[in-house]
């Protein structure tokens, strides 16, 4: 069944958890969708995961459109959300609307995600009026990591926690379809999930959110340099890929691949005729 805003909201009402993963290309999107994932997120994390950028700030609108369009071709029944990249919605209402429209029309996503609190409520309303569903993002907001002082848990103190709760309520009232809560205490995430009508998606926010999201490459252990506390490995795909590549390289180098079973042949008489004619011509 195709996931929609209504089916996802019904999951919150019934207490059924929502599953979400990042995807950055067609093949991974198709695998995730066929495995039953409810939502796919083309996150601006693609900058680091796929493009080798040092951070999400480097990701452009063209980067996001390119990858979102690829994912859209393989997302199947999953609901597709794409990140609005750094500053694409902070330079004025018109710029924000134009960029969001491009991401929807050219990228073929079904909703856009923006990072920030109450200051974005007017934008949320305008996007909804334009037919663009919005997912919010509170807590650790990677596009603002330079002002947050690094990648660390947010809203642990009273003032910050109250501000996050107010922001969540404001975004909910403005009309977001859901809110990602990243790196916030589980108790606060539970309270937010109980106090707002839209669904919450947690990443490093404990088990009481309405759903969960992880970076696909993290949960498949495709990177060994660093694993955040909130990530669980569900398959050691990184090691499997490396083993396969090593085996391939070894087979090519020792001459066992390709063999006759991987090769094509031609009629011997034709080959002899070509060889004879070529030899005669060369003389």
173-213 confidence digits (pLDDT tens): 999 999 999 999 999 999 999 999 999 999 999 999 999 99
**What is the percentage of the chain residues whose pLDDT exceeds 90?**
83
pTM: 0.90
Contact 143, 115 (CB under 8 A): yes
What pLDDT score was predicted for residue 144? 73
User: Count of H helices and E strands in the chain?
Assistant: 12, 8
**Taking the mean position of all CA atoms in its chain, how far away is CA 39?**
9
- Mean local confidence (pLDDT), 13-24: 98
What pLDDT score was predicted for residue 203? 96
- Residues marked active site are found at 182
DSSP secondary structure code for residue 234 in this structure? S
pLDDT confidence band for 281 (50 / 70 / 90)? low
Give the list of residues 6+ apart from residue 203 with CB closer than 8 angstroms, or none.
Answer: 180, 181, 182, 183, 212, 213, 214, 230
The structure tokens listed for 161 are: 């926690």
Is residue 278 predicted with pLDDT exceeding 80?
Answer: no
C-alpha atoms less than 13 angstroms from C-alpha of 255 in its C-beta half-sphere: 0
What pLDDT score was predicted for residue 153? 86
Name residue, tokens 């205490």: 185
The structure tokens listed for 193 are: 């999930």
Name residue, tokens 């429209």: 101
């Amino acid at each position: 069944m195709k996931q929609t805003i209504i089916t996802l909201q019904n999951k919150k009402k019934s207490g059924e958890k929502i599953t979400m993963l990042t995807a950055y290309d067609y093949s991974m999107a198709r695998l995730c969708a066929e495995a039953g994932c409810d939502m796919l997120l083309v996150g601006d994390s693609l900058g680091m995961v796929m493009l080798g950028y040092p951070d999400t700030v480097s990701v452009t609108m063209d980067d996001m459109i390119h990858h979102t369009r690829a994912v859209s071709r393989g997302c199947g029944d999953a609901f597709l959300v794409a990140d609005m990249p750094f500053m694409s919605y902070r330079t004025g209402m018109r710029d924000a609307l134009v960029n969001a429209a491009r991401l929807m029309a050219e990228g073929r996503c079904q909703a856009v995600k923006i990072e920030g609190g109450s200051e974005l409520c007017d934008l949320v309303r305008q996007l909804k009026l334009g037919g663009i569903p919005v997912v919010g993002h509170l807590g650790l907001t990677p596009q603002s990591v330079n002002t947050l002082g690094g990648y660390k848990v947010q809203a642990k103190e009273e003032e910050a926690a109250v501000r996050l709760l107010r922001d969540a309520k404001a975004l909910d009232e403005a009309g977001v379809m859901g809110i990602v809560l990243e790196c916030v205490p589980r108790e606060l995430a539970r309270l937010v999930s109980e106090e707002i009508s839209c669904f919450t998606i947690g990443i490093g926010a404990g088990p009481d959110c309405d759903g969960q999201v992880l970076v696909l490459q993290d949960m498949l252990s495709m990177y060994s340099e660093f694993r955040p506390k909130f990530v669980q490995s569900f398959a050691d795909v990184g090691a499997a890929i490396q083993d396969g590549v090593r085996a391939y390289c070894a087979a090519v180098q020792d001459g066992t691949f390709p063999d006759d079973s991987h090769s094509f042949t031609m009629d011997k008489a034709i080959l002899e005729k070509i060889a004879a004619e070529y030899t005669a011509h060369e003389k």
